[in-house]
Amino acid sequence: MKRKVVAGMMAALMAAGLLAGCGNTEKPASTSAADKSTSAAATSESSKSESSKSESTASGDAVTLKIFSNLPDRKNGQGLVEQTIIDDYEKENPNVKIEVEALDEEAYKTKFKAYAMDGMPDVVSIWGQPSFLDEVLDAGVLAELDQDAYKDYGFVSGSLDGFMKDGKLYGLPRNTDVAGFYYNEKMFKDNGWSVPETYEDLLALAPKINDAGFVPVAMDGGDGWPMAIYLTDLLERVDGTISEKVNKAVADGDFTDPSFVKATELLKASADAGLFQTGYDSQDYGTAMNLFTNGQAAMFYMGSWEASMALNEDIPAEVRDNIRVFSMPATKDGKGKQTDIAAWNGGGYAVSANSKVKDEAIKFLNYMYQPDKLSKYGWENGVGMSAQDQSAYMTGNETELQKQFLDIVKNSTSTTGTTINDRGPSAFKTSIESEIQNVTNGTTSVDDFLATIGTACK
Amino acid sequence: MKKLYSNKLVIASLVFPGLLVFLFAILAPICLSVYYGFTDYSGMGAANLIGFDNYKALLKDSTFWLALRNSLLLAIGFICIQHPLALIVAAVLDKLQGKAEGFFRCVYFIPNVISVAVIAYLWKFIYNPDFGLLNNILHIFGYQGKVNFLSKEYAIWSVLIVLIWHGFGWGMLIYYTGIKNIDPVLYEAASIDGANKKTTFLRITLPLMKPVIQINVTMAVISALKQMETVYLLTNGGPGNSTQFTANYLYQQAFKAFKYGYGNAIGVVFIIICLLVTVGLNKIFAEKTV
Amino acid sequence: MEKKIKTKKQWTVGRVLLWVVLICVAVIQIFPLIWLVDFSLASSNEMFTKGLLVIPQKIQWGNYVKAFIDGHFLLYLKNSLLINGLAVLLVILISLMAAFACKRMIWKMSGLVKTLLLLGMMIPIHATLLPNYKIYNMLGLTDTIWALLIPYIAFSLPQALFLMTGFLDAIPVELEEAAVMDGSGIYRIVFRMILPLMKSSVATVAIMTFLNNWNEFMMASTYLSSPTWKTLPFSVLEFTGQYSSNYAVQFAVMALTAAPAVLVYILLNKHITKGVAMGAVKG
């Protein structure tokens, strides 16, 4: 049984490698410089041998592309952008039918791993982070992309790094993500609260907001990863240059460095101070966000992808028009500044290595990344920043939120890069995202928490 | 006749579909599970045989034991809360006649036909501290704070309440049928002897219901062990791992933590536990009845 | 007349108490559903109320329109009906055949085979999720109707077999003997004679199987990916993501998903109760 499975996988791998005209066969550098069309043409040749060799399939056979996406809301924000591009593509290529399967992020990641075992949809959402990508790439389920093809796509420098392995590119980033506190400006004004200058101010604000009958910060604590981002943000405030320390800690499985202790204690103190809503540790994304969008919470800690809230018609105008954002304030005695922001290139797209319609899939991928697609549509829909140069699409009509995020990025003195939970293997990610609930709600001590996540790295 | 009834070909053709389904959908996966349980297979790439390492790790895995403890809690909850309630309500219902009886029976059973998906999400809303039904009820009674029913202290009880609520109609119906099957002559005899309602219930109803109770208790323990769907949707094992159950845990390990091999090892142990518990309970009850 | 006197006589403290208990339990069982329907007709921001129920300013039927269309209600309902219907049919057929073979036919292994088939009752269904996923993938069955049909049948079969053998005992062998005299073959006996005789038992098996599988979603969500065969619970699962910022629509989709089963139950209440009671007490 085992031999059969392994053999099958090897065969699939080798076939994939050959088809892509690269990979782990003995053809070195020469192929990587091949022009854009070779890989596509090669695939079409061997997968449907009788069909024409022409790269354009516009007049060709009917093709069904399966897309697996982590954006279930197809009517707002990023999901709308993705759907718009898909509709455009289908219009321009009438022979192509695109089927989308979309799931929530958590459910998506689970199902993705199930898919990775045998046979994935053609185009998939991925995350350019070790916790997600390392094992996926080891298994060879993603197709290698031709780096040179994307020189003119205007990717922000460094944004492709998370999607590379051994100098080969396997995916493209969709966004530049920045974490911050969304806040309801009107609520702040009406109650006479001011935007906190330091983290201590923020903590001091918590009881005031609670007394006024509101939730200070709506936190999606049920999922674990938003709090891990929060912790990363705090680590940066405490330490100033946390990135290398995290990498070292993950490599050694040792999180005893005082910075980790301090930041975790700060996070726990915040939860104890009532900064988050009652039951934050069991409530999911939607519940937390709804607290904020329904005017029940003063702030909402989340990534820049939710900047589209400012345009979401489902949200009452009173809230929608008053959403503003600030980045994690600095702590009094920490080494980091407020401008050392938590920002990373996380989500993106890739093509399945053993897709039967890989040429079409890559064509679609490239289509999405044409500067006037993801970047332009994304910008118009207020979903935050893409990983490409968007300056051409600035109209001056952006929402306040978008402008604020732009300023945060423009004025940043450093960025954290990939957040702590995504820097280790997936077992580490699973561990920290569930243990972080335990440490904030007091089930485990800070020391035990750090010890446990350390063990999970090994 | 005998010849006709021992025709091997006919027998084979009658049993074949059932056996095929059993082999393909139950036996084959279990064998595959046993195999993967001995490997370090992550779900992708190669699988290496690693002997009993997964099982050794399992023994030391506190979450696994926590999951078993939760199953035990759930079973106790079923037996000590749901079943007495269901039995009493069934006995009370038995005293009613006509339309009212049918009406209540129908109402009690309705939650049972509703999908777990709906139930779990509905209760998520009911437990919500900010606008949930339960907190609003507490407000009416003058409590001003917000109670987080899904906090680590309460979550397992909140899960239990949902399951009791959802399964109440089923348990009630079974007891109800059992009571209906009791020969009314016995009750008449009791009332002639001057027994009051309480004694009748304790002396006649309860003892005669023993086999039904035994079946129900066995079912309760098994369903507590097998619990997955409600928990998966309601809390997904959280906060922390406070509402973790075995089935949910093996699913998470395999599909989230990239430990397909380990997940299968949990699955194998899980199957063995279920078999042992079922057989054990049957044995205990069998001895008692004799 | 007699009844009237009886009720009058017993209208005592005890009887009042009895009614209070029954009504309380009924309220507990049904109120969450009333709450669900109520909120599904309101708009999202009306939900943050301090009262138990809201009186919507304007009844939002639009919530249901959204739920109906975007929740793929009709498609998923059709899939659910088809898959469950087929599962019920096959379970009845297979279990009847196996029950007859094990109970009436004369062969050495009959006991063993029966025990083997009944063993499935003890196997936790979710333990097979991981390996079955692997198997279905290898055979290319994922995302097809078989990925659901096979496990649904497999895990309903033991119980069905158990019930069928029990019911079969109640049918006198003499009837069969007569049929054999007339020259009927086994198949004819099973399908033409036994099956019609066991109508109520078959109904019980059908109801139990249907109830077992109708609401199942764990396997469905693991084995299926495209909407082609997705079943009704998916309306809810997909919606919470799609309409994460609109609670009222989520409530509407939940109410809509629950509706078919509840309606059918209320209509067929007597039969279903009888079926479940028969099945449960035997099983």
Res. C281 pLDDT band, cuts 50 70 90 = low
**Which residues, 6+ apart, have CB-to-CB distance to C247 below 8 Å?**
A290, B125, C39, C44, C47
C29 vs B107, B140, B270: nearest CB: B107
Inter-chain contact B118–C93, Cβ cutoff 8 Å?
Answer: no
Both tokens of residue A328?
């994690």
pLDDT above 90 for A241: no
Q: Once rounded to an integer, what is the mean pLDDT over residues C20-39?
A: 91
Please check the confidence at residue C104 and state whether its pLDDT lies above 60.
Answer: yes
Please compute the mean of the pLDDT values over residues A291-310 and round it to a whole number.
Answer: 90
Q: Do B237 and A116 touch (CB under 8 A)?
A: no
For residue A417, being part of any structural domain is answered with yes
How far apart (Å, rounded) are the C-alpha atoms in residues B68 and B74?
A: 10
Q: Do A72 and C137 touch (CB under 8 A)?
A: no
CB atoms within 10 A of CB B53: 15
Q: Say yes or no: A240 and A283 in one domain.
A: yes
The Cα A74–Cα B77 span in angstroms is 42
Domains of chain B: 64-254 (1.10.3720.10)
* Entry pTM: 0.80
d(CA B284, CA B287): 5
Rounded to whole angstroms, the Cα distance separating B95 from B90 reads 9
Substitution target from B107, B228, B234 for chain C, most C beta carbons within 10 A: B107
| Among the listed residues B46, B119, B64, B35, the one whose alpha carbon sits nearest the alpha carbon of residue B266 | B64
Q: Determine if residue A23 is left, alpha or beta; phi over 0 gives left, psi from -120 to 50 gives alpha, anything else beta.
A: left
The answer to whether the peptide bond before residue B239 is cis (omega within 30 degrees of 0) is yes
Q: Hunting for tokens 């279903």 — which residue is that?
A: C272
Contact across the interface for B107 and C113, Cβ inside 8 Å: no
**Within a domain: A19:** no
Which residue among B238, B257, B258 sits closest to A222, beta carbon to beta carbon? Answer: B238
Q: Do A299 and A444 sit in the same domain of this protein? A: yes
**Are the Cβ atoms of A113 and B150 closer than 8 angstroms?**
no
Domain total of chain A: 2
Whether residue A419 is contained in a domain is answered as yes
Domain boundary among A358, A386, A414: A386
Are residue A158 and residue A269 in the same domain, yes or no? no
Handedness of CA C204, B24, B262, A67 (dihedral sign): negative
Cβ atoms of A175 and A386 within 8 Å: the answer is yes
Could you tell me which chain B residue has the CA closest to the CA of C118?
B22
pLDDT for the residue numbered C10: 55
Highest mean pLDDT among A16-30, A162-176, B262-276, C221-235: B262-276
Q: SS3 sequence, chain A? A: CHHHHHHHHHHHHHHHHHHHCCCCCCCCHHHHHCCHHHHHHHHHHHHCCCCCCCCCCCCCCCEEEEEEECCCCCCCHHHHHHHHHHHHHHHHCCCEEEEEEECCHHHHHHHHHHHHHCCCCCEEEEECCHHHHHHHHHCCCECCECHHHHHHHCECCCCCHHHEECCEECCEECEEEEEEEEEEHHHHHHHCCCCCCEHHHHHHHHHHHHHCCCEEEECCCCCCHHHHHHHHHHHHHHHCCHHHHHHHHHHHCCCCCHHHHHHHHHHHHHHHCCCECCCHHHCCHHHHHHHHHCCCEEEEEEEHHHHHHHHCCCCCHHHHCCEEEECCCECCCCCCCCCEECEECCEEEEEECCCCCHHHHHHHHHHHCCCCCHHHHHHHCCCCEECECCHHHCCCCCCHHHHHHHHHHHCCCEECCCCHHHCCCHHHHHHHHHHHHHHHCCCCCHHHHHHHHHHCCC
Q: Name the residue range of residue A313's domain.
A: 177-344+404-455
By Cβ distance, the residue of B47, B150, B256 closest to A2 is B47
Average pLDDT over residues A310-338: 89
How confident is the model at residue B59, as a pLDDT?
92
Please indicate, yes or no, if residue A5 is contained in any of the structural domains.
no
**pLDDT at residue number A50:** 37
**Band of pLDDT at residue A432, cut at 50, 70 and 90:** very high
The answer to whether B130 contacts A277, with C-beta atoms less than 8 Å apart, is: yes
Give the 3-state secondary structure of residue B49.
strand
Q: E-strand spans in C135-229?
A: none
State whether B22 and C157 contact (CB < 8 Å).
yes
Which tokens is C185 given?
């073959």
Q: Exposed (0-12), middle (13-18) or buried (19+): which is A220, by Cβ within 10 Å?
A: buried
Asked if residues A220 and A302 have their Cβ atoms less than 8 Å apart, the reply is yes
What was the pLDDT predicted at C110? Answer: 86
Q: Give yes or no: residues A378 and A408 share one domain.
A: no
Contact B28 C131 (CB under 8 A): yes
- Give residue A378's pLDDT: 84
Within a domain: residue A374?
A: yes
pLDDT tens digit sequence for C144-181: 999 999 999 999 999 899 889 888 888 888 888 888 88
Does the pLDDT at position A21 exceed 50?
no
In eight-state DSSP terms, residue B39 is B
Task: Indicate yes or no: CB of C222 within 8 angstroms of CB of A101.
Answer: no
Task: Concatenate the DSSP letters of all residues of C11-52 into one string.
Answer: -SHHHHHHHHHHHHHHHHHHHHHHHHHHHHTS-GGGSS-SSS
pLDDT band at A60 (very low <50, low <70, confident <90, very high): low
| Residue A221 near chain B (CB below 8 Å) | yes
Is A278's CB within 8 Å of B150's CB? no
A286 and A217 in a common domain: yes
- For residues A32-41, give the mean pLDDT: 37
- A235 and A137 share a domain? no
What pLDDT is attached to residue A45? Answer: 37
> Could you give the CA distance from residue A144 to residue A165 in angstroms, rounded to a whole number?
10
Pick the closest to residue B5 from C187, A183, A308 (CA basis): C187
Over residues C22-26, the mean pLDDT reads 91
* Coil/strand/helix, residue C10: coil
Report the pLDDT value the prediction gives residue B256, as an integer from 0 to 100: 79
How much is the mean pLDDT over chain C?
Answer: 85
Q: What is this model's ipTM?
A: 0.86
Give yes or no for A296 touching C (CB within 8 A): yes
Which residues of A are less than 8 Å from B39 in CB distance?
A: 2
Q: What percent of chain A has pLDDT over 90?
A: 38
Q: Which site among B134, B148, B241 would you substitute to test the A interface, given the most A Cβ atoms closer than 10 Å to its Cβ?
A: B148
pLDDT band at C280 (very low <50, low <70, confident <90, very high): low
CA distance C98 to chain B (A): 5
Within a domain: A399: no
Of residues B118, B212, B254, nearest to C257 (C-beta): B118
Interface contact B18-C117, CB threshold 8 A: yes
Å between B195 CA and nearest CA of chain A: 52
Is residue A447 domain-shared with residue A417, that is, in the same domain? yes
The string of pLDDT tens digits covering residues B85-113 is: 999 898 888 877 778 888 888 899 999 88
Q: Tell me: pLDDT of B258 over 50.
A: yes
CB contact under 8 A, B257 and A426: yes
- CB-CB contact of A131 with A423 (8 Å): yes
Chain C residue with Cα closest to A107 = C221
Q: Across the interface, do A285 and C48 touch by the CB < 8 Å criterion?
A: no
For residue B227, list chain C residues with Cβ-Cβ distance below 8 A: none
Residues A252 and A202 occupy one common structural domain: yes
Query: Is A37 in the B-facing interface, judged by CB distances under 8 Å?
Result: no
How many angstroms separate the Cα of A377 from the Cα of each of A86, A344, B189? 12, 21, 83
Q: Give yes or no for a contact between B216 and B87, defined as CB atoms under 8 angstroms apart.
A: no
- Measured in angstroms, the CA of B152 and the nearest CA of chain C are apart by 24
Which pair of structure tokens corresponds to residue A227?
């709090």
Residue A47 lies in a domain: no
Maximum mean pLDDT: which of A177-186, A415-424, C57-66, C175-184: A177-186
Return the C-alpha torsion angle B233, B235, A133, A170, nearest 10. Answer: 40
Q: What span, in angstroms and rounded, lies between the C-alpha atoms of C126 and C132?
A: 10
Burial category of A152 from C-beta neighbours within 10 Å (exposed 0-12, middle 13-18, buried 19 and up):
exposed
**Which contiguous run of DSSP H or E holds residue C150?**
helix C146-169
Are residues A186 and A97 part of one domain?
Answer: no
Against chain C, the chains showing at least 3 CB pairs within 8 Å are A, B
* Sign of the CA dihedral running C101, C107, C109, C111: positive
CA distance C203 to C209: 10
For C281, counting Cβ atoms within 10 Å of its Cβ (0-12 exposed, 13-18 middle, 19+ buried), the class is: middle
Provide the 10 A C-beta neighbour count for residue A316: 14
A245 and A162 together in one domain: no
Among A143-157, A307-321, A429-443, C84-98, the range of highest mean pLDDT? C84-98
* A339 and A363 share one domain: no
Measured from the Cβ of residue C140, the count of other Cβ atoms closer than 10 Å reads 12
> Which residues does chain A have within 8 Å of residue C221's beta carbon, measured at their own beta carbons?
107
Q: What confidence score (pLDDT) does residue A55 get?
A: 42
Mean pLDDT value of segment A159-171:
87
**Where residue A248 sits, what CATH number does that domain have?**
3.40.190.10
The string of pLDDT tens digits covering residues C38-87 is: 989 988 777 777 777 888 888 888 889 988 888 889 999 999 999 999 99
Interface touch C161/B18, C-beta < 8 Å: yes
Q: Is residue A398 part of a domain?
A: no
C-chain residues within 8 Å CB-CB of B246? 124
Contact of A138 with chain B, judged by CB distance below 8 Å, is answered with yes
pLDDT of C1 above 80:
no
Residue A112 confidence class, pLDDT cut points 50, 70, 90: confident
pLDDT value at residue A58: 46
Conformational region of residue A198, where left means phi above 0, alpha means psi within -120 to 50, and beta covers everything else: beta
Q: How far apart are CA A320 and CA B31, in angstroms?
A: 55
Instruction: Indicate if the pLDDT at residue C98 is higher than 90.
Output: yes
CB A427, CB A434: distance < 8 Å: no
**A201 plus A109 within the same structural domain:** no
Backbone angles phi, psi at A28, to 5 degrees: -75, -150
B206-234 in b/e burial notation, b at 16+ Cβ within 10 A?
eebbeebbbbbbbbbbbbbbbbbbbbbbb
Among A212, A219, A207, A206, CA closest to A187: A212
Over residues A243-271, the pLDDT tens digits come to 888 989 999 999 999 999 999 999 999 99
Domains by residue range for chain C, with CATH: 2-65 (no CATH), 71-242 (1.10.3720.10)
Q: Name the more confident of A50 and A398.
A: A398
